[in-house]
Amino acid sequence: MKILGIETSCDETAASVVEDGKILLSNVIASSVDLHAAYGGVVPEIAARSHLESILPVIDEAVKEVGWDNIDAIAVIQGPGLSGSLIIGVMTARTLAIAKQKPLYAIDHVHAHVYAAFLTEKANSLTLKAYSLPKEQPRFPLLALIISGGHTQLVFFRDHFKYTVLGQTVDDAVGEAFDKVAKILGLPYPGGPAIAKVAERGNPKAIKLPKAKFDVRKFDVRSNVRGLTSHTKGDYRFSFSGLKTAVLRASQAIAGKDFTLPSHELAGLLSGSQKDDIAASFQRTALETLITPVKIAVEEFKPTDIVVAGGVAANSELRRLLSESFENRVIYTDMKLCTDNAAMIAVLGFYKASLGQPAADPYSLEIDPNLQM
């Protein structure tokens, strides 16, 4: 079964064809990230206009080798994401599903991130040559840490479509925190890679930064797995906005100023080594905030494998810390499949189609910018 995936949730216009949920046949991504860099973050209006320009050429390129006749179904991102961006993907997919008479599957973007790790083979093409894929598909029960510019979520899967969201961020996503701290330090957007680079030179213990604590009694797990015992060991929520503010206050103090100094003036007042220390201390605190709940969840749910998905999975210090604790049970896919892509949409589309999940109505499918797993 060959599925065409379409992804347009944020600033990447992407299309991909995947066979049987595991063989990557094509993966095309047009990013408008350079257009947003000047603003230090994604501008929704610019993103939507870029999708409009790129979507048809991107789909053409993805389908070129396989041919429309061999596509069995279309899977499209329904949400969460930016409304203006989602509309372009969903309307294009609806039109194609009707015109080409293919079944249409609506996909949750965050759920799909986990499914990028199910790709284990690829076509013998020049464009896919550099992709390094896991050798085996992840095994259930599975713990998934989804960490990106838009999401921070820990999910326990007993099987396909049988999952419990153990916790998610109550405010900023971890990638967003990397991006905002980078902005404070005058580093380029997206901030994650830049922070990771300067953090290598800094002292991660130079500045003590706070980690969010929650009132466990108010902890509420949304579960769609009947029979999964409601757990008590861990509080799997995340929070990064306090950390971000703490970095701002620490930076102002290091620069010898008070809280009234605007953040955009800070970078010019900090030395290179001060920035390195701030980046390293922030990164250490952010990564510990991610890893502690993973350790508790592993103890509580005893997953066979752990999948780390999303752009922040690129962080090499995170990978080092996780491998220290869990060795080879942690599965990462290629970086080009960790950040937003359409192959993950196609893989989840395959499982929806092959496991009898309902198809969407191409005449009425709506976007859902606030879709939650």
Is position 167 an interface residue for ligand AMP (rule: CB under 6 A)? Answer: no
Is position 80 an interface residue for ligand AMP (rule: CB under 6 A)? Answer: no
Is position 148 an interface residue for Zn ion (rule: CB under 5 A)? Answer: yes
Is position 202 an interface residue for ligand AMP (rule: CB under 6 A)? Answer: no
358: region left, alpha or beta (phi > 0 left; psi from -120 to 50 alpha): beta
Is position 150 an interface residue for ligand AMP (rule: CB under 6 A)? Answer: yes
Considering only residues 81, 293, 311, 362, which one is a binding residue for ligand AMP as defined by CB under 6 A?
311
Least distance between ligand AMP and beta carbon 342 (Å): 13
Considering only residues 13, 340, 342, 344, which one is a binding residue for ligand AMP as defined by CB under 6 A?
340
Instruction: Report residue 275 as tokens.
Output: 């920035």
Helix (H) or strand (E) holding 29: strand 23-31
For residue 238, the 8-state DSSP code is B
Q: Sort 276 into a burial class: Cβ within 10 Å, 0-12 / 13-18 / 19+.
A: buried
E-assigned strands of 66-219? 73-79, 104-108, 121-122, 142-147, 152-159, 162-168
Tokens 């973050």, residue? 41
Is position 44 an interface residue for ligand AMP (rule: CB under 6 A)? Answer: no
Q: Which stretch binds ligand AMP (CB under 6 A): 47-55, 201-209, 245-253, 304-312?
A: 304-312
Choose the one of ligand AMP, Zn ion, none that binds residue 178, judging by a C-beta under 5 to 8 angstroms depending on kind: ligand AMP
Helix (H) or strand (E) holding 272: helix 272-301
Is position 191 an interface residue for ligand AMP (rule: CB under 6 A)? Answer: yes
Least distance between Zn ion and beta carbon 310 (Å): 6
Angstrom distances, CA of residue 119 to CA of 58, 278, 299, 348? 21, 37, 27, 11
Comparing CB distances to ligand AMP, the nearer of 54 and 315 is 315
Choose the one of Zn ion, ligand AMP, none that binds residue 311, judging by a C-beta under 5 to 8 angstroms depending on kind: ligand AMP
Helices (H) and strands (E) in the chain, counts: 11, 12
Considering only residues 192, 303, 349, 362, which one is a binding residue for ligand AMP as defined by CB under 6 A?
192
Is position 362 an interface residue for ligand AMP (rule: CB under 6 A)? Answer: no
CA 291 to chain centre: 16
Least distance between Zn ion and beta carbon 31 (Å): 13
How far apart, in whole angstroms, are the C-alpha atoms of residue 27 and residue 30?
10
Is position 179 an interface residue for ligand AMP (rule: CB under 6 A)? Answer: yes
Q: Which residues of the shown chain bind ligand AMP in the complex (CB under 6 A)?
A: 148-150, 175, 178-179, 190-193, 196, 310-312, 314-315, 339-340
